[in-house]
Amino acid sequence: MSAGFQRARRPEQIEARRRAILAAARELLAERPVADISLRELACHVGLAKSNVIRYFDSREAIFLEVLDSAWTAWLDELEEALGEAGPAEPGFAREERVAGTIAATLTGRRVLCELLSSMAPVLERNIPVEFARSFRRRAAANTERLGELVRVRVPELPVDAARHFARGVVVLLSGSWPAAHPTAAVAAVEPGDAPVFALAEGLTNLLAGLVARGR
């Protein structure tokens, strides 16, 4: 146990301790990938023992999923402003290309969000209890629903179900393209210059335009 550690007992103390742990996780994520951050290192960064960190979160993965949830909602706020108001129809699929390009551009500017989203299903959701999984998936579904609605308002030809499909597709395309475009140092050394380009905008444009075309 860390010297001077005092267990948080009142609700406001517990919440303050949780906020401190999440702040430490964000600070470490700003420096290196989530895969390189251990629970021990996170605990040391916040000045607690590992066992004390687990008092406030179910696991290391649960901590980073909480960071993901807040980063996800913050990105949606940014995206809503970046998309602007819904405009008139445009020739061809120009509107779909613009909307998809805006989504990709705002995501690309948020490295931590992209990394956590790409790690969500294959890594972070592998070590969480059922109750936390239920809570997190409920919030993830709400974020996905909001993204679909943001797109549908600006591309009204898109049916509601297709908008949901597109929103889920954003996560799927990002999850595959982000790690491939950001290889480890060992892979980059073996194949310098051969890493795939992070072509998220193109993939999202094709998906959105295809869903609109199918709905006509």
Lowest mean pLDDT among 2-6, 17-21, 154-158: 2-6
Which whole number is the average pLDDT over 115-140?
96
pLDDT at 149: 97
Name the residue among 107, 19, 32 with its Cα closest to residue 66: 19
Confidence label for 192 from pLDDT (cuts 50, 70 and 90): low
- From 194, 208, 63, select the one nearest 148 (Cα to Cα): 208
**Exposure pattern of 93-116 as b/e (b: 16+ CB <10 Å)?**
bebbbbbbebbbebbbebebbbbb
Lowest mean pLDDT among 36-45, 134-143, 172-181: 172-181
Rounded Cα distance, 91 and 176, in Å? 31
Describe the crossing of helices 94-108 and 160-181 by its angle, rounded to 10 degrees: 50
Question: What's the confidence (pLDDT) of residue 91?
Answer: 81
- The helix-helix angle for 60-83 and 130-154 (nearest 10°) equals 10
- Give the pLDDT mean for 18-33: 95
* Statement: residue 3 has pLDDT above 50: no
Query: What confidence category does residue 155 fall into, taking pLDDT thresholds of 50, 70 and 90?
Result: very high
pLDDT bracket for residue 85 (50, 70, 90): confident
